[in-house]
Amino acid sequence: NAGVTQTPKFRILKIGQSMTLQCAQDMNHNYMYWYRQDPGMGLKLIYYSVGAGITDKGEVPNGYNVSRSTTEDFPLRLELAAPSQTSVYFCASSYGVWANTIYFGEGSWLTVV
């Protein structure tokens, strides 16, 4: 049981490039989330999904897109990367609306130069 797995762990992008952060969970959780964390700050919700085929915006969705074609996978796409998207990205998942625990991945460090 690997939990929540994120790839890549580190990535450097040039301004204007695009990339996809991968997230997979093997706990059969229906809820999945993407957060970003800027240095010295708390986590901010980018997008979330309540099940396959259903996604919704969080607090800071601009510049990102997501899809949820399967229960296991929730990729986050960055289009036209900007320096403001330099951050640590965390994927998370939980089971059900009243899930007591949200499980986080280990994070993906992204630098846009």
- Residues forming contacts to other proteins in the complex (CB under 8 A) are 4, 31, 33, 35, 40-45, 48, 50, 56, 58-59, 88, 90, 92, 94, 97-107
**CA gap 55, 57 in Å, rounded:** 7
State which residue, 17 or 111, has the beta carbon closest to other proteins.
111
Distance CA(26)–CA(76), nearest Å, equals 18
Smallest distance, other proteins to C-beta of residue 52, A: 14
- Judged by beta carbon, residue 14 or residue 42, the one nearer other proteins is 42
**Closer CB to other proteins, residue 79 or residue 106?**
106
**Residues sharing a CB contact under 8 Å with residue 60, sequence separation 6 or more, in sequence order:** 36, 44, 45, 46
